[in-house]
C-alpha cells in the first residue's frame, strides 16, 4: 500500500524535483534544504506512477548510514515494496555485487576476497621487500595513496602516465604492477578495484553492459559533488540508454578533493548529459536567516559554482558573532566562558560544537575544558593526550625522568623500529619477572650476559645508550624540557619516521607533536608537565550526560547543532596554507567551501573568532586575520574584542586596523605574511 501523502509536505522546488522523471536531472541542494526527503519521495513517486519496478532503480549513496536512512524512509512511504530496492546502497557495495556476478571478466572468481587496509599494507611491505625498497624511506601507506589515486582516475598499471615532477611515481608504478598481479593471484581486490573492475567490464563486454543499461531505468545519486572520476564514469556507462539519471548535491559543499573528489563532475553535469534540467533547492530548514546570509555572502566569492541563494522561513535570529582575542589561549578561555556563562543554561551541551580547521587546535580547548570541568567529546578523532604520537613522546619523557617506568619502556623500545621483535621483548619480560628487575635493568643485564640475539642486541644497546644520554642532557646539562623532546625526536629517528611517511595522517601527527611542544612551554620543568598530563588523562573522560562536541570542519559535514563555534580564522591556518600552495585558486575556493560548511552547521547561533597572536611550533607568531573575515557582510555580523584595552594601550587592535611604517601601511602579521607569499 502506498502512502499518498508523500508530496504534501514538499515545497514547490522539492515537488518539481520529485515529479520530473524524464531525462537527466541535477538537483542543486543547499545546506539543510531537505535533499534526503526529495530523493526518497522521488523513489516512491517512480514506483507509484509505475515508471519502473523497484529492482529497476539504482540508488547510490556514499555511506552505509545514508543508504540505511534512505531505505527506512522509502519503507515508510511504500511499505512492503521497499524490500524490492535491491540496488540501493553505497558505490562499493553495489559494485561488489555486480563484480561477483561477472568476476571472470577481469580474471577473478566470484568468491574473491576484498582486502582491507591492513592486508594492503602487509602486501605492499612484502612487495617492497622483494623489490629492495626501503619502507622507512617510502611508507607502504604512501604507496597505497598513490595507487588509490591512479585507480580513482581509472588507470590500470599499463595506463598510468607518470608525473615527471613527482619523484615517487617512477618508483611506485612498478610496485603497482606487482601489486595488481598479486591481488589477482590471491583472487582478491581492494576497494579501488571494485569500481575500476566494474568500469572495465562495462566498457569491454557489451553483452554484460546491455543487461544493466536495459535494467536501470532510473539512477539516483546522493552527494554527487563528492564523486571522483571513476565513480562518475561508472554512472555514465549505466545511464547510456535511458539517461534518467538524477544527481543530488551541493557544489558549495565540495570539500573532499584530497580524497579524490572532483567538483568538475558536478559543474559539468549539464555538459555530460544533454538536455539536463537543473532544479535548485534554496529553502533552508535548519538555520536562521542571518546565519544563511553570512554563509551565502561568503561563498558568493567563489567563481566555480552553479550558484544559488539560500533563504529560510525561520526568524532572522542572532547576528553572527565575530570575536578577536589577544592569543590562542585567551580564545579558548573566552569561548569556554561564553559556553559556561551564557549558553549552558539555554542549550544542551550536546547541541554545542567547536569546529576547527586542523585537529591539533583541539588541544587548547581540551586543556581549558578539563580545567573548568566542562565535559566534551572528540567526534571523528581522539583526544589530544590520547593520540598515539603524543603518547609516544610522553613515554620517552617519562622513561627519561623515571627509569622504572616499565609501561613507557615497553611502548617505545621498538618505536621507531630498532629490530627488537616480540620474542626479544618477551625475553626481557621473563628475565624481569624471574629476577625482580625493571625492564630497563633487565635489558642491560641480558646484554651484559650476551643473551640477546645479535641484531636485536645492536638495536637495544643503541636505545639504552640514547636514554642514558638524554638523562644526562636533562639532569647534568640542564637542558630545557622542550628542547629535550626536540633532541629525543631527532636522535631517536622518530621525526624522520614521520617525515618520510608522506600522507595526510602523518602530517596531522607532526602538527600534533608541534602542538605538544607548544603545550610544554607553559610549564616550568619536565616534572610539572608530566604531572599535568597524568592528571589530565586520569580525569573521567566518559562524563555521564551531555558533552560539548569538538571536531574538524571536514568531520562536521551532514551534521547540525544549535550553537557552532568556529575558532582560528587566521591566514595560514584557515585558509590553510598547504591547500593554497598545492592547489592555488582551486585550493582557496575549497577552503572557502569548507568555511561555508562550517557556518551552515549552525541552527541558531554562530561564533567566528581569530587571535592576534598564536603559540605555534614552539614560538609566538603574529597572526593575520583570515581573508574570509573581510568577506563577511557587516550587516549580519556583530563584532567584539575580548580583552581589556587598558592592559596594553600600545597594542590596541581593531578589526580593520593598519599600522604605519616607512614602507607604508602594514597589518598584524605582515612579516609572516610576506615570508609566506615569497
pLDDT score at 504: 67
Q: How far apart are CA 177 and CA 156, in angstroms?
A: 8
Mean pLDDT of the region 386-402 = 93
pLDDT score at 65: 84
Q: Is there a catalytic annotation at residue 35?
A: yes
pLDDT score at 544: 55
Q: Which of 222, 367, 515, 589 is catalytic?
A: 222
Other CB atoms within a 10 A radius of the CB of residue 454 amount to 8
Mean pLDDT of the region 362-367 = 93
Other CB atoms within a 10 A radius of the CB of residue 186 amount to 14
Q: What is the 3-state secondary structure (H, E, C) of 278-328?
A: EEEECECCCCCHHHHHHHHHHHCCCCCCCCCCCECCCCCCCCEEEEEEEEH
Q: Is there a catalytic annotation at residue 601?
A: yes
Q: Which of 15, 16, 21, 36 is catalytic?
A: 36
Tens digits of per-residue pLDDT, 561-599?
999 999 999 999 999 988 999 899 999 999 999 999 999
- Given a contact cutoff of 8 angstroms between Cβ atoms, the answer to whether 90 and 191 are in contact is no
Q: How far apart are CA 153 and CA 149, in angstroms?
A: 6
- Given a contact cutoff of 8 angstroms between Cβ atoms, the answer to whether 237 and 203 are in contact is yes
pLDDT of residue 678 exceeding 70, the answer is: no
pLDDT of residue 181 exceeding 90, the answer is: yes
Q: Is there a catalytic annotation at residue 313?
A: no
Q: Which of 81, 193, 223, 252 is catalytic?
A: 223
Q: Give residue 254's pLDDT band: very low, low, confident or very high (50, 70, 90).
A: very high
- Give the Å distances, CA to CA, from 267 to 35, 305, 466: 18, 7, 56
For residue 355, list its beta bridge partners.
551
For residue 661, list its beta bridge partners.
664
Q: Give residue 618's pLDDT band: very low, low, confident or very high (50, 70, 90).
A: low
Tens digits of per-residue pLDDT, 311-343?
998 889 999 999 999 999 999 999 999 999 999
Give the residue among 296, 353, 250 at the shortest CA–CA distance from 606.
353
Q: Give residue 9's pLDDT band: very low, low, confident or very high (50, 70, 90).
A: confident
Q: How far apart are CA 59 and CA 220, in angstroms?
A: 5
Contacts of residue 303, Cβ cutoff 8 Å, sequence gap at least 6: 589
Write the burial class of residue 660 (CB in 10 Å: 0-12 exposed, 13-18 middle, 19+ buried): exposed
Mean pLDDT of the region 532-561 = 79
Contacts of residue 221, Cβ cutoff 8 Å, sequence gap at least 6: 59, 60, 227, 235, 245, 246, 247, 248, 249
pLDDT of residue 541 exceeding 80, the answer is: no
pLDDT score at 143: 93
Q: Interhelix angle for 191-204 vs 91-101, to 10°?
A: 50
Q: Which of 601, 603, 604, 614 is catalytic?
A: 601
pLDDT of residue 403 exceeding 70, the answer is: yes
Q: Are strands 602-616 and 619-622 parallel, antiparallel or unpaired?
A: antiparallel
Report which of residues 79 and 131 the model is more confident about: 131
pLDDT score at 85: 87
Q: Is there a catalytic annotation at residue 117?
A: no
Phi, psi of 18, deg, nearest 5: -75, -45
Mean pLDDT of the region 619-633 = 89
pLDDT score at 389: 94
Q: Which residues of 427-448 are buried (b: 16+ CB within 10 A; e: fewer)?
A: bbeebbeeeebbbbbbbbebee
Q: How far apart are CA 151 and CA 62, in angstroms?
A: 17
Give the best-scoring range by mean pLDDT among 125-139, 233-247, 373-387: 233-247
Q: Are strands 245-249 and 25-29 parallel, antiparallel or unpaired?
A: parallel
pLDDT of residue 657 exceeding 70, the answer is: no
- DSSP symbols for 377-441: EETTS--GGGSHHHHHHHHHHHHHH-TT-HHHHHHHTTSS--S--HHHHHHHHHHHHHHT--HHH
- Given a contact cutoff of 8 angstroms between Cβ atoms, the answer to whether 332 and 365 are in contact is yes
Q: Give residue 643's pLDDT band: very low, low, confident or very high (50, 70, 90).
A: low
Tally of helices (H runs) and strands (E runs) in the chain: 28, 18
pLDDT score at 675: 41
- Give the Å distances, CA to CA, from 40 to 30, 36, 66, 222: 17, 6, 11, 11
Q: Is there a catalytic annotation at residue 36?
A: yes
Mean pLDDT of the region 649-660 = 40
Tens digits of per-residue pLDDT, 258-273?
888 999 999 999 999 9
Q: Is there a catalytic annotation at residue 542?
A: no
pLDDT score at 628: 97
Q: How far apart are CA 452 and CA 30, in angstroms?
A: 64
pLDDT score at 163: 83
pLDDT of residue 397 exceeding 60, the answer is: yes
Report which of residues 204 and 116 the model is more confident about: 204
Which of 70-74, 123-127, 229-233, 239-243 is predicted with the least confidence, judged by mean pLDDT?
A: 70-74
Q: Give residue 15's pLDDT band: very low, low, confident or very high (50, 70, 90).
A: very high
Q: What's the mean pLDDT when you consider all of the chain? A: 88
Q: Give residue 651's pLDDT band: very low, low, confident or very high (50, 70, 90).
A: very low
Q: How far apart are CA 563 and CA 291, in angstroms?
A: 11
Give the residue among 259, 224, 55 at the shortest CA–CA distance from 149.
259
Q: How far apart are CA 493 and CA 480, in angstroms?
A: 20
Mean pLDDT of the region 658-665 = 40
Q: How many residues does the chain have?
A: 678
Look at residue 218 and give its three-state secondary structure.
Answer: strand
pLDDT of residue 676 exceeding 60, the answer is: no
Report pTM: 0.80
Other CB atoms within a 10 A radius of the CB of residue 630 amount to 10
Q: How far apart are CA 601 and CA 356, in angstroms?
A: 13
pLDDT score at 650: 37
Q: Which of 120, 253, 353, 600 is catalytic?
A: 253
pLDDT of residue 2 exceeding 60, the answer is: no
Tens digits of per-residue pLDDT, 418-447?
999 899 999 999 999 899 999 999 999 999
pLDDT score at 225: 96
Amino acid at each position: 500500500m502506498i502512502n499518498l501523502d508523500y508530496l504534501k509536505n514538499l515545497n514547490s522546488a522539492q515537488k518539481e524535483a520529485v515529479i520530473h522523471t524524464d531525462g537527466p536531472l541535477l538537483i542543486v541542494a543547499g545546506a539543510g534544504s531537505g535533499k534526503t526527503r526529495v530523493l526518497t519521495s522521488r523513489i516512491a513517486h517512480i514506483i507509484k506512477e509505475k515508471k519502473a519496478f523497484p529492482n529497476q532503480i539504482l540508488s547510490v549513496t556514499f555511506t552505509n548510514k545514508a543508504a540505511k536512512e534512505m531505505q527506512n524512509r522509502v519503507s515508510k512511504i511504500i511499505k512492503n515494496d521497499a524490500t524490492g530496492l535491491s540496488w540501493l546502497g553505497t558505490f562499493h557495495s553495489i559494485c561488489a555485487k555486480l563484480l561477483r556476478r561477472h568476476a571472470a571478466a577481469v580474471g577473478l572468481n566470484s568468491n574473491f576476497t576484498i582486502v582491507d587496509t591492513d592486508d594492503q599494507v602487509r602486501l605492499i611491505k612484502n612487495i617492497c621487500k622483494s623489490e629492495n625498497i626501503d619502507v622507512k624511506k617510502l611508507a607502504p601507506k604512501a604507496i597505497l595513496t598513490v595507487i588509490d589515486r591512479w585507480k580513482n582516475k581509472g588507470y590500470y598499471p599499463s595506463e598510468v602516465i607518470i608525473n615527471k615532477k613527482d619523484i615517487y611515481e617512477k618508483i611506485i608504478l612498478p610496485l603497482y604492477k606487482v601489486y595488481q598481479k598479486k591481488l589477482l593471484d590471491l583472487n582478491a581486490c581492494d576497494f579501488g578495484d571494485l569500481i575500476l573492475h566494474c568500469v572495465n567490464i562495462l566498457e569491454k563486454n557489451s553483452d554484460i553492459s546491455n543487461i544493466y543499461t536495459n535494467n536501470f531505468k532510473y539512477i539516483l545519486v546522493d552527494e554527487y559533488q563528492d564523486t571522483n572520476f571513476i565513480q562518475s564514469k561508472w554512472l555514465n556507462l549505466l545511464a547510456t540508454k535511458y539517461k534518467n539519471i538524477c544527481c543530488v548535491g551541493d557544489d558549495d559543499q565540495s570539500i573532499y578533493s584530497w580524497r579524490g573528489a572532483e567538483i568538475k563532475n558536478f559543474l559539468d553535469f549539464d555538459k555530460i548529459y544533454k538536455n539536463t534540467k537543473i532544479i535548485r533547492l534554496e529553502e533552508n530548514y535548519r538555520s536562521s536567516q542571518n546565519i544563511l546570509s553570512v554563509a551565502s555572502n561568503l561563498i558568493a566569492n567563489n567563481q566555480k559554482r552553479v550558484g544559488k541563494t539560500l533563504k529560510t522561513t525561520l526568524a532572522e535570529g542572532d547576528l553572527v558573532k565575530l570575536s578577536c582575542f589577544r592569543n590562542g589561549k585567551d580564545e579558548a578561555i573566552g569561548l569556554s566562558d561564553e559556553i559556561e556563562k551564557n549558553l549552558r543554561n539555554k542549550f544542551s551541551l550536546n547541541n554545542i560544537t567547536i569546529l576547527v580547521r586542523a585537529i591539533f587546535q583541539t588541544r587548547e580547548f581540551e586543556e581549558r575544558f578539563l580545567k573548568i570541568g566542562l565535559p566534551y567529546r572528540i567526534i571523528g578523532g581522539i583526544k589530544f593526550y590520547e593520540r598515539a604520537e603524543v603518547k609516544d613522546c610522553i613515554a620517552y619523557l617519562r622513561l627519561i625522568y623515571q627509569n622504572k617506568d616499565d609501561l613507557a619502556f615497553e611502548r617505545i623500545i621498538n618505536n621507531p623500529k630498532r629490530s627488537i621483535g616480540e620474542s626479544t621483548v618477551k625475553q626481557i619480560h621473563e628475565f624481569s619477572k624471574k629476577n625482580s628487575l625493571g625492564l630497563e635493568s633487565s635489558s642491560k643485564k641480558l646484554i651484559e650476559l650476551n643473551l640477546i640475539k645479535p641484531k636485536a642486541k645492536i638495536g637495544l644497546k643503541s636505545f639504552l645508550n640514547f636514554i642514558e644520554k638524554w638523562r644526562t642532557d636533562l639532569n647534568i646539562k640542564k637542558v630545557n624540557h622542550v628542547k629535550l623532546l626536540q633532541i629525543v625526536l631527532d636522535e631517536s629517528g622518530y621525526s624522520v619516521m614521520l617525515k618520510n611517511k608522506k600522507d595526510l595522517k602523518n602530517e596531522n601527527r607532526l602538527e600534533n607533536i608541534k602542538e605538544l611542544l607548544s603545550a610544554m612551554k607553559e610549564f616550568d620543568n619536565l616534572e610539572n608537565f608530566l604531572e599535568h598530563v597524568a592528571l589530565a588523562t586520569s580525569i573521567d573522560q566518559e562524563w555521564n550526560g551531555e558533552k560539548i562536541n569538538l571536531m574538524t570542519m571536514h568531520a562536521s559535514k551532514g551534521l547540525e547543532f544549535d550553537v557552532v563555534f568556529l575558532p582560528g580564522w587566521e591566514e595560514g591556518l584557515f585558509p590553510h596554507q598547504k591547500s593554497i600552495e598545492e592547489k592555488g585558486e582551486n585550493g582557496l575556493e575549497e577552503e572557502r567551501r569548507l568555511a561555508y560548511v562550517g557556518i551552515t552547521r549552525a541552527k541558531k547561533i554562530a561564533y567566528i573568532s581569530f587571535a592576534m597572536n598564536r603559540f605555534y611550533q614552539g614560538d609566538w607568531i603574529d597572526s593575520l586575520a583570515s581573508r574570509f573575515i573581510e568577506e563577511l557582510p557587516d550587516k549580519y555580523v556583530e563584532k567584539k574584542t575580548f580583552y581589556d584595552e587598558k592592559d596594553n594601550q600600545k597594542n590596541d587592535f581593531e578589526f580593520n586596523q593598519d599600522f604605519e611604517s616607512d614602507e607604508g601601511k602594514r597589518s598584524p602579521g605582515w612579516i609572516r605574511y610576506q615570508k609566506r607569499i615569497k
